[in-house]
Amino acid sequence: MSSPEHLLPSSATVNLLQATLRDRVTGALVGAALGDAIGLYTEFLSAAHAAEAYPSRRFTLAGAPRPTPFKLDSHRAPKQPGDWTDDTDHALLLLLSFLHTARATGTTSSQLPPQLSHPPPLPSQQDLARRLRVWANQGFRPLETMPLGLGRLVGTVLSTAGFEADPEQVARAYWERTGRRVAPNGSLMRTHPLGAICAFREEGEAFEAAAALSSVTHVDPRCVVACVIGTGLVRALVRGEVAREEDVDAVVQRAVGWYRGMMRDHEGELDKEELLRHVALENGLDDLNLDEQAAIGYVYKTLGSGVHLLRLALRRMAGNKGALLERSRLFEELITDLIMRGGDADTNACFAGALLGAYLGYASLPDHWKHGLRHQEWLLGKCESLCQVLGLREGEYNGQEDRDTEAQGGKPAISEQDMEGRWMALQQTTFKKMEEAAKASASKAAGSSWSLPWQRTKIKQ
């Protein structure tokens, strides 16, 4: 009879599994940033205008001859190809909050899942609230980028007295004041790192963290359950527990069951039929009407588009038996089709990119996208730190020594006067860019009127 030692995986098997898990963790975080950056090309456009602006349906961020230029307008002009938006900024605030109190001793675990004696605490509502307020006033401090794209709901809640002390209470008061109707996607876009962070924690703990961190700004039941589902899916994908569409449905059912069992009565009754209509589409993405101007930021549109792309990926991989070539182009094809439908394209593709990246892995993300992502090396460094903390990569890490993880990114606070100067500099740079583009084009459209480009709030909620 074999001894228990003979049943343990070999060191080579453990190393291979760790490499696979690292690839999925990194794929989720970088895949989301890529979806965000590619989605910026068509954000706020209708599908018809997206087709007119990008008739080739081809986008590149790296390689010859140059990155695909934006349709230059007041929304895109302040950015450069390869930039991510506020969606990824906010997701990274959550990741940095976690890393700030985390440590890694320098050696990987010989067990899978890794057995961490003292797992780091998950981000708190108050810490995320504090970081969001810093971002709104001063930008993403580790990279010194500007706070472009602040949504109406988030902007209102962040500026309310008492937000840092009790953000959920402030968010709930806003929801009540607006008639309990507002359910935008601003919390779903930021919670995907929790799926990776909680990869080796109980599913219920991941659900609870997602619900709490959604409620920092978004307390509507649709927003909360969307974050619970999204976090659960990323976690399951990283763990390799999603191979069929039935596995997707099972995560959704468990998330809904958890929500109904744990959330308070005054949260409001969840319309399960409406939810299922969005996560089990009968006619594909056409059902979502993603460029519906009055509701482009509805959270179920983002949730439904991401879940549908994951279903398509599962079908394609099953039909092609996981061929390497198929994996390498699948992410690009699915994300491109999604963003060409316009609407809140960056947020839709950010969430979908997290799911697809966690499923396909970083190695399968298109090279001409990921190598053109601005701040790629910085982001990969944070992915590496997370993998060290999760016990998937050797190397010591101490979040207290990583200045990027501080609320101010290890830098002195920026005064209001200096921020105004930065806004003015951005305005001037953007004005010059628009002026040069107009001169270079003889068409009437290029010379049409446009509003000042550095709007600090989005049209959506």
Domains and CATH numbers, the chain: 4-447 (1.10.4080.10)
AA identity, residue 120: P
pLDDT of residue 459: 43
pLDDT of residue 443: 54
pLDDT along the chain (461 residues), means of 10: 54 89 98 98 98 97 90 92 98 98 80 72 98 98 96 95 98 95 96 98 97 97 97 98 98 96 67 95 96 95 98 90 72 98 98 98 96 97 97 95 97 97 96 84 51 48 51
Q: Is 41:69 a contact under the CB 8 Å cutoff?
A: no
AA identity, residue 251: V
Give the C-alpha separation, 162 to 407, whole Å: 18
SS3 247: helix
**Residue-by-residue DSSP string for 373-386:** STTHHHHHHHHHHH
Query: Residues annotated in the binding site for Mg(2+), as ranges?
Result: 85-87, 344, 346-347
pTM: 0.93
SS3 432: helix
Query: Residues annotated in the binding site, as ranges?
Result: 85-87, 344, 346-347
pLDDT of residue 327: 80
pLDDT of residue 135: 98
Extended strands (E) in 34-127: 103-106
Cis peptide before 113 (omega within 30 of 0): yes
Give how far Cα 57 sits from Cα of 38, 52, 295, 337, 338, Å.
11, 10, 24, 8, 11
pLDDT of residue 63: 80
16 Cβ neighbours under 8 A, 6+ residues apart: none
Q: Which helix (H) or strand (E) holds 396?
A: strand 395-398
Q: Would you state the torsion angle of the CA atoms of residues 341, 347, 350, 353, taken in this order, to the nearest 10 degrees?
A: -40
